[in-house]
Structure 1
Amino acid sequence: MTNEEMYKMYQNGDTFQKIADVCGISKQAVHQRMVLYERKVYGIRGKRKQRLLIDKIVYKGIYEHFENNYDETISSMCKKVYGYATGNTDKFKSFITGEHDSHFKLEHIKRLCEVVGKPFEETFAER
């Protein structure tokens, strides 16, 4: 059974357990396939909240980077920019969404351009 067929069963109200019984796999495997299929079809990264945040990004280069790299999340990009894992990504989120003009160090801007793979002008062009 394809992921699309399983997703249609799920949309029709079947439980993960029922789909798993039909396919002969575990319900955890069904859940994983549903999540990956939904991400592929709808371009969603994990939670829908993440998708809403990505739609708010005001810089064209950064937005395109997220559109083209489904594996990338705000927190993983934040880790690449700062060089370490940070539990609080609020400052980074507010910077890329243009909510306020936060103080962002030049070294972090350079790293952000490296992560995106574009020069400053393309990374920070308004969309």
Structure 2
Amino acid sequence: MEVRLPYKIVRLETQPTYCTQGNTQLDFRLTLDGWVEGLLFYWVPDGTPPSEALEEETLYLERPFAGPEVRGFLTVSPEGRVLGAGTQGIEVRPDRRLWVRGVRGGVLGPYVGAVNVVRPDSTSFCDPSW
């Protein structure tokens, strides 16, 4: 049985890098056909299904969003936490991918993955903005 939702999220995009030396404001934009009551984000290592995200790798933004374009940012830590504290030192970090789900009437929509991966940048001049 297929459930047809009264909205559709497509073309989630993010910047190409995140910093490994401190927190990063991760810019995103997506195309939303319709409106949702909230957006549920998943910040997971590339190749990890969003359904396996750890609690600290998720963030729910509860407020109405209407299309056609939604822009914003999440603050992410080098360890992969959403809105988490940064750590000291430089470690090898995996490529990551941002995912989102719309919420309307308490029903979660399908997972929509960003069209690009976000690569770690350990340089001292890391500036991941678009």
TM-score (norm 1): 0.30
Higher CA-based Rg: 1
Structure with greater helix percent: 1
Structure with greater strand percent: 2
TM-score (norm 2): 0.30
